[in-house]
Structure 1
Amino acid sequence: MSKQRRGKSRLLPPPATSITDLNVDTLAQCASSISLQDLSNFAVTCKYLRKMAYSDTIWQRLFRERWPQKTLPSAISVTSGFREAYLSRRMDGLQFKFSDPFALHMNTNSNPFDQVLLNEKDLIFSQGSMIRMIRTDGWLSGTPVTLRLRGHSKRITCMRLFPRNETSFYLGEAYEEEKVLVTSSGDSSIRLWRKGFCWLEFRGHSSQVTTLSDKLLGNGSGKVLASGGEDGTVRLWSLSSSRKHGKHSLGTFFGHKNPIQLMSVSMDNPSHLVTISRDSKVMVWDAEAALLASSSFAGGTTSVLGYPIGIKCHEHLAYVAAGSSVVAIDLRTMQKVVIAAADAILYSFQAMPSKSLFCVGSNGRAMLYDTRRNSGTLNSEPIAVDGGHGGPVTYLHMDPYKIVTGSPVDEHFNVLDANTGAPTNSLTCGIENGTNNSTRCCALAVNGSRIVTGSVNDVAEVGCLLFRDFANASCPVFFF
């Protein structure tokens, strides 16, 4: 080799070393302290890191940390290791398949629970114009912190939680997971709450505010809130902390002649808002175009048959339950297709369009449908029916793991597998004072492995909220 070539070889950098040069055992040891989310990110990076992420060493540690009192599986096969045991146990908790959840009761007055929300940290409920917020972490430790949110003078009509980083109150990553509460009332006002205080108040509707958008409209930092009122108008509001109390709406949409019943933001275009009035008229609004033009701008109009009770937007479709049927509306053309027709009036509706599943509640039963089987037919058949209720199924929750159903004339909620409709549990409402014949369910909120149910007893003139957490339960329920 010439002197010139030997000189160049000395200048070459040493071979690069990557994380995949480490063996699986070493990687598993390095990853022993990372979070479950980071572990999931490793698993989708490449096949080599996925092998590490599926290591029994890691999942045995996660299992022991999550359920220290639970005995590890006695037999672990090559195809069914600690990861499968962990995921199976977590799935059972999310489907409420236990008889010994952690439970706490909170007695209240006998007024109906108008709204109930349950998020990662807070239980929020309203009775009339009163709003209470309970920090669940303090509740679990025996030192509950209860906040009374005062300001509204009439019954609360709607409550929404929005991520703080979607509003101007976002101050940094430390607050990214916090949420702000927005409420509407029969007093025609809308209020935004932080730390137990009203930070913003919006007024503009001439009568009670009936509903709020399920998401904020728009992209980036310019997102806005939409509200619908008894006056038939749709109004847009900025959630900016720089705006003073009583600030006028950014825009007002006219087109409905009846009170607004439901509204939802399109997933395909976050500036499109779908609204339904009580006369079953459906309208699509382009909020961005309307604000730029400083006038109402309707992107499309159609109608459905029967009283509207639920809406769910997914991609360019809006699924609307009204009367005794569920209709899919193409928001680009406003064409309609009946995807389910029941033989009774519907009282509730929940959907998981990404899995082609939706559930409806009618008189005495809840029905699970698969849209792939029922498109365009009036003789649609549910894939499962829960007929265990004595009255209208008005309480309905659906997530990727479970369905929870309830009726105001019953004393229990039923839990079903979200994919098959098979029953997994049955839960009492909450009041256990020997007068159950007069107990009725009146509230439902679910978040992951946790559930809050509300009940009132008219004879005893008492109400109750029952909080259950199935995350660390250990006694399986045998439900047939």
Structure 2
Amino acid sequence: RRHMGQHITVLGGPKAPPVVSLDAHVSTNPLYGGCRRIVPLDMKRGMLATASGDYTVKVWKSDQTNSLSEHTLSYTNRHPWCMIVLPDGESLVTGASDGMIDIWDWEKGAHKRQCSGHTACVTALAVSTHAEKFFSAADDGAVKVWANVGLCLLTFQGHTSRLTTLTWLQASGLLVSGSRDTTLRVWDPERERELDTLTGHTSSVFCAAAVPSTGDLVSGSDDGTLRLWSIRSGRCKTVFTGHKRCVW
């Protein structure tokens, strides 16, 4: 789900993300082409990107009355799995099922460069808004730090299973990864070291998000709970229960 002015884009089916008017409460413009992930590109112009199991990334103009794909970024026999936009606003970074990372000029539809290093599916990407860096996590258990030009600067190891989520904490300049090994790990890219391992979930961790007002972190797990963590102390502050199944 992504907000775009007075519209919202909903990821909800195997074919297309519909664009829903928040005022009229109706679907205004289904964008046919399939999707797995959605990221906003240019909110003022209503541009967004979708990643699909059909081996493509599509760039859409969502404010048109008829479905319109501006560009199709094609892969060859590999699935785009995750996406981020770099702070320059021009570069779209995608992680794929073969472990490769691609950097695109999303407006021109041009492939800029490919980054190799992971040996399995890239499952999560994150970006630092103040530094010229982005981060990746993969099924090979590694977390990598990249320069925005595509050079791998650093690799973190420590998880014992596949990685599922990656969160950049802007306030502290720290990176948090979540894994199927039930833990979250806190990394310091500047000091090039692991700071902490957050334990408490009893099943795979599938999502995490920063709390900007406090610098804390919220995580969701296959154990059906959410946990609020103090990054400073490494302790779980609150456990939220109520879900009966996995929290994505």
TM-score range, shorter chain: 0.7 to 0.9
Partner in structure 1 of residue 113 of structure 2: 338
What is the rounded CA distance, in whole Å, between the counterparts of 1:332 and 1:429 in structure 2? 43
Counting matched residue pairs gives 224
Letter matched to residue 226 of structure 1: T
Contact 2:164 2:205 in 1 (8 A): no
Task: Kindly state the Cα deviation for residue 233 of structure 1 after the two structures are TM-superposed.
Answer: 2.3
Q: Deviations over 1:103-125 (max 9, x none)?
A: xxxxxxxxxxxxxxxxxxxxxxx
Verify the 8 A CA contact 2:95 2:122 in the aligned structure 1: no
Aligned residue number for residue 177 of structure 2: 405
1:352 aligns with 2:127: yes
Counterparts in 2 of 1:289-368, with a 5 A limit? 290=64, 294-305=65-76, 306-314=78-86, 315-323=89-97, 324-352=99-127, 354=129, 355-362=131-138, 363-368=140-145
Distance 2:108 2:137 in 1: 29
Root-mean-square deviation (CA), in Å?
2.8
1:390 to 160, 170, 176: 160
CA contact (8 A) 2:51 2:81 kept: no
Question: Cα offset for 1:465?
Answer: 4.0
- 1:36 is matched with none
**Residue pairs, 1:255-266, within 5 angstroms:** 256=33, 259-266=34-41
- Secondary structure class of the residue paired with 1:351: strand
Matched, 1:282 2:57: yes
Match of 2:217 among 430, 441, 451: 451
Q: How does 1:109-188 map to 2 (within 5 A)?
A: none
* Counterpart position of 2:13: 230
Kept in 1: contact 2:113–2:150 (CA 8 A): no
Map residues 11-90 of structure 1 onto 2, 5 A cutoff: none
Contact 2:80 2:95 in 1 (8 A): yes
SS of residue matched to 1:296: coil
Report the AA paired with residue 390 of structure 1: T
Question: What is the CA–CA distance in structure 1 between the aligned matches of 2:179 and 2:38, rounded to whole Å?
Answer: 24
Q: Which amino acid aligns with 1:319?
A: V
Structure 2 unpaired stretches of 5+: 235-248
SS at match of 1:260: coil
Q: Indicate if the aligned counterparts of 1:273 and 1:287 stay in contact, CA closer than 8 A.
A: yes
Residue 307 of structure 1 and its aligned partner are, at CA, apart by 1.9
Counterpart-to-counterpart distance in 2, 1:369 and 1:278? 26
Partners of 2:69 and 2:231 in 1: how far apart? Answer: 46
Higher helix share: 1
Q: Is the 8 A contact 1:455 1:463 kept in 2?
A: yes
Partners of 1:399 and 1:418 within 8 A in 2: no
Higher relative contact order (CA 8 A, sep 6+): 1
Query: Rg larger in 1 or in 2?
Result: 1
Residue pair 1:384, 1:422 contacting (<8 A) in 2 also: no
In the TM superposition, what whole-angstrom CA distance separates every residue of 1:12-44 from its partner, at most 9, and x where no partner exists? xxxxxxxxxxxxxxxxxxxxxxxxxxxxxxxxx
Partner of 2:205: 442
SS in 2 for 1:394: strand
- Given the alignment of the two structures, is residue 467 of structure 1 paired with residue 237 of structure 2, yes or no? no
Question: Distance in 2 between the 1:466 and 1:343 partners?
Answer: 29
For structure 1, the residue ranges without an aligned partner over 5 or more in a row are: 1-211, 375-381, 431-438, 457-461, 475-480
- C-alpha displacement of 1:420: 4.7
Could you report, residue by residue, the CA deviation over 1:320-344 in whole angstroms, capped at 9, with x for unpaired residues?
1112111111122111123421241
TM-score (norm 2): 0.77
Q: In percent, how many aligned pairs have the same letter? A: 18
Q: 1-side partners of 2:221 and 2:150: how far apart?
A: 37
User: Contact (CA 8 Å) 1:396, 1:405: kept in 2 or not?
Assistant: yes
State whether residues 356 and 371 of structure 1, in contact with CA within 8 Å, keep that contact through their aligned partners in structure 2: yes
CA gap of 1:339–1:307, structure 2 versus 1, over 3 A, is same
Superimposed CA distance per residue, residues 366-405 of structure 1 (whole angstroms, 9 cap, x where no aligned partner): 111112352xxxxxxx322221111111132123311111
How has the CA–CA distance of structure 1 residues 412 and 248 changed in structure 2, closer, same or farther, with 3 Å as cutoff?
closer
- CA shift for structure 1 position 270: 3.8
1:184-216 CA distances to partner (integer Å, 9 max, x unpaired)?
xxxxxxxxxxxxxxxxxxxxxxxxxxxx23xx2
Q: Say if 2:4 is the partner of 1:217.
A: yes
Aligned partners of 1:383, 1:420: CA distance in 2, in Å? 12
Counterparts of 1:262 and 1:464, CA distance in 2: 23
Partner of 1:250: 28
Question: Structure 1 328/268 Cα, relative in aligned 2: closer, same or farther at 3 Å?
Answer: farther
- C-alpha contact (below 8 Å) 2:39/2:83 kept by paired residues: yes
